[in-house]
Structure 1
Amino acid sequence: MTDSPADATPYEVLGVPASADDEELRRAYRRAARETHPDLGGDAVRFRRVQIAWERVGTPAARRAYDTGSRPGSAPSAPSGSSSASDWRSGSARDAYAPPAGRRDSRPRARSHGHPGGRSREVFLAAEREWVGLGDPIEDPYDPGLIRSAPRSIRRLLGEALAEEATAAIVADMGIGVTVWHDLDAGAEGKLDHVVLLPSGLWAVESIDWGGPVRIEHGEVVGETLEPGERPVKELVRAARAVQKQTRVRFTGRLLVVPDAAVDVDVQLVGPQRKPTAFVVRRSALGQVLNGVWSPEGAVDVFEVRDRLQQTVRFV
């Protein structure tokens, strides 16, 4: 598990509701540990997730700390005879969930237009209000306890906003030679998260976090945590084409930026190598890709493309 709100909660990993009592939780842990233990024919990755889940909620103190998003006095231990996850972490998640504060440093930053993650946060807040109950006040929509108790579909909406903001922060640090537009209107296709312009090319970029690992099969991204019928590469292509038609610009390529934990390699091509449909990029490798390490040959007229986008782009 990661600290992403899109990831499965410890209760979901153990297969019990968050309201389960301590004994029910303990029985669920023992059952999940038996089912996933590698020596009993289980899967090592799933077994590891079970151990981390238990360490986060396996004692009353740890459970209170997880449910409230606070820092426990000490890390819990697993029941006798089980493995423990030594890299367990906790702490207040409120600041990580809330919108990012403005930067105060004086470093040169990329030219930025639009509001990264803005629409995704609006959708998340609306869904959260509907889940809590329309008309019922929400004192703090980013309270960790409230978010961690929400259905995963709602947590994933927040995860998408955080993913978009993380990409925006990486691009912003690339300096004044870069221009980026966020939350572009793609008409019937919804929105395109980012368009990034720099001398190496013009990139259509989507940022997403499914809260789990993904892989590429038959030209598409697949994984257990994707929604039924979800086709991320196809959706990116359609959104990019809509923006391209609207603005009369041509994209160098399309990038699908995912958390580092979601994939095993920095960059994966989707489609034929000579003309890939898109690149699936680890977040930590995004700067390298945009700087031209994996870019196709050729450059763009930055000034001409920037002026055209400024005159034609629409935001959601």
Structure 2
Amino acid sequence: MTDSPTSATPYEVLGVPATASHDELRRAYKRLLRTTHPDVGGDAGRFIAVQQAWERVATPEDRAAYDRGSSRESDQREAWAQPAGGAPRRDSRPTARSYGHPGGWRRERYLQLMREWVGRGVELDDPYDPALVRTAPWEIRHTLADALAEEATARQLATLGIGYTVWHDVDSGRAGEKIDHVVLGPTGLFAILSEDFGGEVRTRRGELIGESLAGEEPIRSLAVRAKALTRATRVKFSALLVVLPDDALAEPLLEVGSVRGALTAAVRHSVLPSVLRAGLPGTRQVGGVDIFDVRTKLQSAIRFV
């Protein structure tokens, strides 16, 4: 089980309510072990998830520690509560030019939704308490997960170097719809969404699909936003990328299709810098003096949410 806010709780993995008795938990665990075991045609990933879930609540003591928030979850809380300040400095090499506040809009939205859900007049001591977060509705957990994903992507993008310019939390011109990152470099102009749906993602008919997406269409959504920004800036994107946790994709780079000449793809978080440095086959590159012209247009036209 990962530390993402979108991760299923042990109760959700085992298919029982959080109020289930210990005997009910054990029966659910044993039943799922039989039905998910690879030897009987079950899914190996699901089989492992069931075992990991059981480890968190296997004894009354383990379950009580999980329910109240263990020391491990205290560390998790600190990681969630601390907004990213950019890439850690491990050497003296210049970082990419960066503008905007990655994850800032999502964090504000998360706090707003959390306060509304808890209720008026209820004091919210710690909005990042894991025990509170995992009981919140999907929209709230997903909003926090996306904020964390955007901050993690920003750290990766900073390592690209001075040949690249990055704008975070870009207003697409459509109400409530932003582009998480716009990246300009010699290999092209990229519109990027950072997502964490809490599960595996695959492609079908030009879109990303998966049980965890809950009906969302990230490729279509990004294409609509990129089109609006293209209209405002008069520059065309080389590619539209959705960045996902490494374990969400079966391959490092998964091409989905193209939209108005821009390649669309899903990319693992860990390989994003190498993909942007190398570029994508068949995409528009921005070289020579053109990169300065494009940067000037973007800098004068981009607005932040």
Query: TM > 0.5 between the two?
Result: yes
Residues in 2 aligned to 1:303 and 1:315: alpha-carbon distance in whole angstroms: 21
Match of 1:82 in 2: none
Residues in 1 aligned to 2:285 and 2:4: alpha-carbon distance in whole angstroms: 37
Residues in 2 aligned to 1:112 and 1:250: alpha-carbon distance in whole angstroms: 20
- Give the drift of 1:220: 0.8
Indicate the SS of the match to 1:149. coil
Q: What does the per-residue CA deviation read over 1:219-277, in whole Å, with 9 as the maximum and x for residues that have no partner?
A: 1100011122x21111111111111111111111111111100011111111269x564
**Residues 82-161 of structure 1: matches in 2 within 5 Å?**
92-102=75-85, 105=89, 107=92, 108-161=94-147
- Give the drift of 1:41: 4.3
Match of 2:14 in 1: 14
Distance 1:91 1:143, change over 3 A: closer
Match of 2:193 in 1: 206
Q: Please list every run of 5 or more consecutive structure 1 residues that lacks an aligned counterpart in the other structure.
A: 73-89
Residues in 2 aligned to 1:298 and 1:152: alpha-carbon distance in whole angstroms: 39
Are 2:212 and 1:225 equivalent residues in the alignment? yes
Distance 1:128 1:272, change over 3 A: closer
Match of 1:194 in 2: 181
Higher helix share: 2
Distance 1:102 1:225, change over 3 A: closer
- Kindly tell me the number of residue pairs found equivalent between the two proteins: 298
Indicate the SS of the match to 1:92. helix
Aligned AA (2:304): F
Indicate the SS of the match to 2:166. strand
Residues in 1 aligned to 2:164 and 2:61: alpha-carbon distance in whole angstroms: 47
Q: What does the per-residue CA deviation read over 1:152-206, in whole Å, with 9 as the maximum and x for residues that have no partner?
A: 3321111111111111110012222221111111123611111011121111111
Judge conservation of contact 2:84–2:152 (CA < 8 Å) in 1. no
Aligned AA (1:265): E
**Residues 1-316 of structure 1: matches in 2 within 5 Å?**
1-71=1-71, 92-102=75-85, 105=89, 107=92, 108-188=94-174, 190-228=177-215, 230-271=216-257, 277-295=263-281, 296=283, 298-300=285-287, 301-316=290-305
Distance 1:151 1:29, change over 3 A: farther
Residues in 2 aligned to 1:102 and 1:215: alpha-carbon distance in whole angstroms: 31
Match of 1:79 in 2: none
Residues in 2 aligned to 1:198 and 1:245: alpha-carbon distance in whole angstroms: 20
Judge conservation of contact 1:67–1:148 (CA < 8 Å) in 2. no
Indicate the SS of the match to 1:30. helix
Residues in 2 aligned to 1:68 and 1:199: alpha-carbon distance in whole angstroms: 50
- Give the drift of 1:40: 4.1
Moved more, 60-69 or 162-171: 60-69
Q: TM-score, length-normalised on structure 2? A: 0.89
Distance 1:152 1:27, change over 3 A: farther
- Give the drift of 1:28: 2.3
Indicate the SS of the match to 1:96. helix
Judge conservation of contact 1:195–1:204 (CA < 8 Å) in 2. yes
Q: What does the per-residue CA deviation read over 1:35-91, in whole Å, with 9 as the maximum and x for residues that have no partner?
A: 32334443322121111110122223433443344347xxxxxxxxxxxxxxxxx77
RMSD: 2.3
- Give the drift of 1:111: 1.5
Q: Please list every run of 5 or more consecutive structure 2 residues that lacks an aligned counterpart in the other structure.
A: none
Judge conservation of contact 2:254–2:265 (CA < 8 Å) in 1. yes
Match of 1:81 in 2: none
Residues in 2 aligned to 1:208 and 1:137: alpha-carbon distance in whole angstroms: 30
Residues in 1 aligned to 2:66 and 2:300: alpha-carbon distance in whole angstroms: 48
Q: What does the per-residue CA deviation read over 1:278-305, in whole Å, with 9 as the maximum and x for residues that have no partner?
A: 0111111101111024353632422222
Give the fraction of aligned pairs with identical amino acids, expressed as a percent. Answer: 53
Judge conservation of contact 2:237–2:262 (CA < 8 Å) in 1. no
Judge conservation of contact 2:157–2:166 (CA < 8 Å) in 1. yes
Indicate the SS of the match to 2:250. coil
Distance 1:153 1:15, change over 3 A: farther
